[in-house]
Amino acid sequence: MTSRDARYDILFEPVRIGPVTARNRFFQVPHCNGMGHRDPSALAAMRGMKAEGGWAVIATEETEIHHSSEVAPSVEGRIWDDRDLPAHALVTDAIHAHGSLAAIELVHNGMSANNVYTRIPPMGPSHLPTTRSQYPIQSRRMDRRDIADLRRWHSQAVKRSVQAGYDLVYVYAGHNLSTLQHFLSPRYNDRTDEYGGSLENRARLLCEVLEDTLEAVDGRAGVACRIAVDELIGDRGFTRDDMVGLMEMLGEHPDLWDFMVGAWSDDSVTSRFGPEAQSEGIIRGLKQLTSKPVVGVGRFTSPDTMVRMVRQGVLDFIGAARPSIADPFLPKKIEEGRMDEIRECIGCNICVASDNTITPIRCTQNPSMGEEWRRGWHPELIRPKHGDEKVLVIGGGPAGLEAAMSAGRRGYDVVLVEASRELGGRVAREARLPGFAEWIRVLDYRRTQLERLKNVEFFFESAMPAEEILTYGFDYIAVATGATWRRDGIGYWHSRAVEIDGEMEILTPDDVMNGVRPRSGRVVIFDDDHFYMGGALAELLVKEGCSVALVTPEPEVSSWTHMTMEQHRIQGRLLNLGVEINTGRTVDRATSDGLMLRCVYTGEEQVVECDSAVFVTSRVPNEEIYLGLVGMRAAWADAGLKSVRTVGDALSPGTIAAAVWDGRRFAEDLGRAEENAPFPRDIAVV
């Protein structure tokens, strides 16, 4: 084992937080996960894995304190009453087992909760619509009795938190999700009583809840305050100047400050729109206004940036949500000098999408995320091989790389063949799109690990026919040949090919990413994929001088990117670049001089002239090799071949995260008999 570089010693100093001490400066801040109160066993295993990986403090997701404020259908934490304590004890026990501190983020969502489960009218500082517009519901103005109730509910939740074993209890006023923040913000607080108007009045409830919490913990746990230091909406909201004034009033109240900026989409910007340490400029200087330790986030992946944050007095703790998801063992790898083994976050926000789709958390870089309990996967360990068998992986894209690496780690002899001259497949191509450079980390990490495995061989520019493959004596074959973007317009809207005049040039994302450019003039992109590709290609082509129009059947561009919290940024960028946007329209047919569009609401037709079109619709698995092998199944036994299966996009085109996960699944399943056991899930006991 290599030793730690002395430059990073400062990151492993213990830090006092009130009555408790964190063993180092690595702090997994609260983050949602799509499991919450529904999947307590899986949640506990995920948090425990981070403790094993060296994070000194590990926090829950936002945890509802009372049924008057719940966020169904989203699945977050709950500590409504004592019946919730056993689930929380699972979490704290898993964290404590590895010597880390357990923190809980308590929340009363107020006017950011629609309460569609309990059907109790939401409440906040003012009579206003709720901040989530999915339901036609308004929040009611809280009176003094409501405020007293809120304080009592919070204190009760604090006492339950200590009983459940938490070492640090959060008072939460951030992300535009908390009643305490809503009172702070003039955007929502129009009160004229002692809880409205001046900063001192707007901060009164936060002050009272902090004091209540300190009294309730009674020295048995630390108290943290997570707060939006600037709502990023100017004087309409809470500003950094307000934060400076607040620190003058409350700077010494909590045992720790957790600073964040704006709403969740501002705090967790994708790498496409924000660099590492993006919020540093706003947070810098606030630590000097308190003697208490400070934590903040910035998608920190560079140990050098982490050290700079501490040495320059920006932060005391290196806060992380997404980097702790991508690599739960990041602290240990820095501590042990294994820098080149860090699985760096790529900032794609597929983890965020899990929470927004109310499904267990997943990660593009870390396929074990969310599978620690369900499938017993570990981010660093994998069970050994069951026999001396050989594995062939065909294709060096994300699924093939993960399959080869994981099978190699199990101890199998692995041969990876790639038809081109480079590894990476779609990752290598997509990382060249504007703003996607950090996605190359998916390739970089796996290539580095594969080069260390003596039992894995690479062969490039190798396109073996099925007959030849059977001559090499492989026991298992993974066909990870990816998928190809369609040129015929079939996608979500069209299940049959679009009528296309032969004179119209139709390109696909594969064409553009491989260097082909529209022949001339005006280009129309038909985006029926709705994730990032259509918008990314529009940005690329317009920056290269093309006149670009984007057509989509959805009411906005790249509509699925709401799940990754970047849709508003994508559409804003395209508008600023001068891209013409046509929403609510599909391509009906392609003529020699343009596209015939059809309104998806009225059926009205509209001609858009263009010289070329790029169809971003759907993909077809590249399964020729697989089908060839299946067609020779009768010869498998004589060749010693036990199984062949498609992996990743060659099985079912999807996200890069899905391809990586399927590569891991292939390796995990090697030598495992088919089982009919029920799928692992938490079962509610009545």
Catalytic residues: 32, 172, 175, 267
What are the residues facing 260 on neighbouring strands? 228
* H or E segment and range at residue 429: helix 426-430
Is the link from the previous residue into 323 a cis peptide, with omega within 30 of 0?
Answer: no
d(C-alpha 447, C-alpha 450), whole Å: 5
Closest CA relative to residue 530, chosen from 595, 613, 589, 616 = 616
Place of tokens 């062969």: 459
Q: Which DSSP category does 236 fall into?
A: G
E strand or H helix at 398 = helix 398-410
Count helices and strands (H / E) in the chain: 23, 30
Q: Are 169 and 213 in contact (CB under 8 A)?
A: yes
- The DSSP bridge partners found for residue 550 are 525, 581
Q: How far apart are CA 246 and CA 263, in angstroms?
A: 19
Which of the 8 DSSP states describes residue 263? B
Intra-chain end-to-end CA distance of the chain, in Å: 49
**DSSP code per residue over 142-199:** P-HHHHHHHHHHHHHHHHHHHHTT-SEEEEEE-BT--HHHHHH-TTT----STTSSSH
Q: How far is CA 109 from CA 113, 209, 245, 422, in A?
A: 5, 14, 24, 49
Q: From residue 443, give the alpha-carbon distance in Å to each of 342, 418, 437.
A: 13, 14, 11
Contact 623, 480 (CB under 8 A): no
Q: Check if the beta carbon of residue 76 is closer than 8 Å to that of residue 32.
A: yes
Sign of the CA dihedral 183, 189, 192, 197? positive
Check: CB of residue 524 under 8 Å from CB of residue 551: yes
Q: Give the tokens for residue 480.
A: 């990870």
d(CA 42, CA 257) in angstroms, rounded, equals: 29
β-bridge pairing 20-22 and 15-17: antiparallel
Alpha-carbon gap, residue 41 to 460, rounded angstroms: 43
| 498 φ/ψ sector (left φ>0, alpha ψ -120 to 50, else beta) | beta
Return all residues near 515 (Cβ < 8 A) that are at least 6 apart: none
Give the whole-angstrom CA distance, residue 595 versus residue 620: 23
Q: Which 3 state secondary structure label does DSSP give 570?
A: helix
